Structure 1
Amino acid sequence: MKKLLAEALGTFALVFAGTGAIVINEVSGGTIGHAGIAITFGLIVLAMIYTFGDVSGAHLNPAVTLAFAVARRFSWREVPGYVAAQITGALAASSVLKALFPGNATLGATLPAGAASQSFILEIVLTAILMLTILSVSTGAREKGLTAGIAIGAVIALEAMFAGPISGASMNPVRSLAPALLSGHLEHLWVYLLAPVMGALLAVPLCVGVREAGCCGGACSGARQP
């Protein structure tokens, strides 16, 4: 239960701060700016890794949890609980934002700026890069070392910085699911549910290809099941 609570709280913080930055930027006339929103996403993930990484691994993302399980770094029996906790935390965050800013139309939902297919491919590539980084700086299904949070947070901020104006740079199904449900913007939700999962799963064979044998079989770099 401590792991599930940590995942729910961490995902709540991620969605609350990240999509909250988008909402507050809109209602304040752009005072945060695109760069500020991207940095907010990176910093909140960095903070949550250091806050809950030693408890749950701070996945905060169903796509990450599924990829860890496919890589045999995480037990499949724990996946449903983790995903449920992540969804709960995200929905709670969007509910609080809706109560605070009832007039906001999207609550920070991710929406394609162009064609849905363009954002779909972009989200696959972005999530693959993110997950490849996560697999490379983690032991088992947990981040390792003092710099893991910095590396992961930096990749998220970087990708949000350059790709956010096109696809929203979600890379996380629940980060998109919660504001979409609460705001009613479901028209492109499939992009942000499917593409991050595909991208995260793509990162597993890529990691196997560049690292030593057994890297994604539970034995690489001292990998262990949590």
Structure 2
Amino acid sequence: MNDKGLMRECIAEFIGTAILLAFGSSAVITWMILGEVGTYWEMSLIWGLAVAFAVYTCGGVSGAHINPAVTVPLAIFNKFPWKKVPYYIVSQVAGAFAGAAFTFSMYFHIVADHEAQNNIVRGGPESVETASIWSTYNHAGASFMHAIWIEVLLTMILVFVIFAVIDTLNISAPQGGHAAIIIGLTVAAIGGAWGPLTGFAINPARDLGPKIFKFFAGWGEVALPGPDFYFIVPIIGPIIGGILGAFIWTCILKPYFLTDAETAPEEAVEDIDKEGELT
């Protein structure tokens, strides 16, 4: 393993995930506290655009996984090296931490004013409201297991789409690097359709990194482990869902594209990218 090459990839994953959190969490503040973003759909669209920005800017270096629920399935189904997986995941969590800190550094006074005006004591049970700016909680009153199930399904959809649009065998997928837009729109659509159920984490790093930051920024146990140890939900659910989504594409749907392999160009039936890149 090339240490310099891996370092570049980890830096790219760090930056890409930081971009995701910086835009996404700022959008939550402008929607939830300032009222400048009008609807949940508009806020979700900003999250989706942030994903597209991250893929376009960092994808050429690391593939811009920016999500352990993407990295792990790529290792299982698409020959991404397992030895890189822990480095990618640590970089993603660290990037999410940095992105949350970036947003906090810009909006901390607005968040503090909102807490003071609404008698919210940071670190108290009621501070889940402001803690949810950066990471997810169960907003619909569903049970712990139901919340995991929701995250499984939402991440399954996301990763299924990712695997479909980056596969060169899929001739209906966007060409020329435009998969980033489709992936971003998929994130936005998931948020707009089902986001209020669990906050659509669909990404363990995007949730855990900010929770670690909030733990040190005054939210304490409200951040980690969170009410009823909720932090487990956005870790387990997305990983399982990501593997399922990749399995559905790779093992159930993709083989139908191979039935006419004799007439298909050789390059079309090769694996999309032996290094598991998204672009």
TM-score by length of structure 1 reads 0.89
Which residue of the other structure, out of 60, 64, 77, is the alignment partner of 1:58?
64
| Aligned equivalent of 2:274 | 225
Shift in alpha-carbon separation, 1:5–1:220, aligned structure 2, 3 A: farther
Say whether residues 1:112 and 2:118 are aligned partners. Answer: no
The Cα RMSD (Å) is 2.3
TM-superposition CA deviations, 1:32-59 (whole Å, max 9, x none): 4312211001111112211121211110
Matched to 2:241, the amino acid is G
Instruction: Specify every segment of 5 or more residues in structure 2 that has no aligned partner in the other structure, as ranges.
Output: 1-6, 116-129, 169-173, 259-267
CA contact (8 A) 1:14 1:41 kept: yes
CA contact (8 A) 1:213 1:220 kept: no
| Aligned equivalent of 1:129 | 157
Q: Separation in 2 of the partners of 1:77 and 1:175?
A: 22
Shift in alpha-carbon separation, 1:172–1:155, aligned structure 2, 3 A: same
Matched to 2:164, the amino acid is S
Say whether residues 1:171 and 2:202 are aligned partners. Answer: yes
CA contact (8 A) 1:73 1:223 kept: no
Say whether residues 1:145 and 2:176 are aligned partners. Answer: yes
TM-superposition CA deviations, 1:179-201 (whole Å, max 9, x none): 32314422311111110000001
- 1:34-113 correspondence runs (5 A): 34-102=40-108, 103=112, 105-106=130-131, 107-113=133-139
Counting matched residue pairs gives 221
Matched to 2:183, the amino acid is I
Range with greater deviation from structure 2 (93-102 or 70-79): 93-102
CA contact (8 A) 1:21 1:32 kept: no
Q: Separation in 2 of the partners of 1:139 and 1:29?
A: 40
Instruction: Specify every segment of 5 or more residues in structure 1 that has no aligned partner in the other structure, as ranges.
Output: none
Q: Separation in 2 of the partners of 1:32 and 1:221?
A: 45
Q: Residue 61 of structure 2 aligns to a residue in which SS?
A: coil
State which structure, 1 or 2, has the greater radius of gyration over its C-alpha atoms: 2
Q: Residue 161 of structure 2 aligns to a residue in which SS?
A: helix
Q: Separation in 2 of the partners of 1:95 and 1:8?
A: 13
Q: Separation in 2 of the partners of 1:72 and 1:147?
A: 20
Range with greater deviation from structure 2 (62-71 or 25-34): 25-34
Which residue of the other structure, out of 197, 207, 211, is the alignment partner of 2:239?
197
CA contact (8 A) 2:67 2:203 kept: yes
Shift in alpha-carbon separation, 1:144–1:172, aligned structure 2, 3 A: farther
Say whether residues 1:211 and 2:254 are aligned partners. Answer: yes
Q: Residue 53 of structure 1 aligns to a residue in which SS?
A: helix
CA contact (8 A) 2:95 2:209 kept: no
Q: Residue 42 of structure 2 aligns to a residue in which SS?
A: helix
Deviation (angstroms), 1:26 = 2.4
Q: Separation in 1 of the partners of 2:15 and 2:103?
A: 15
Q: Residue 239 of structure 2 aligns to a residue in which SS?
A: helix
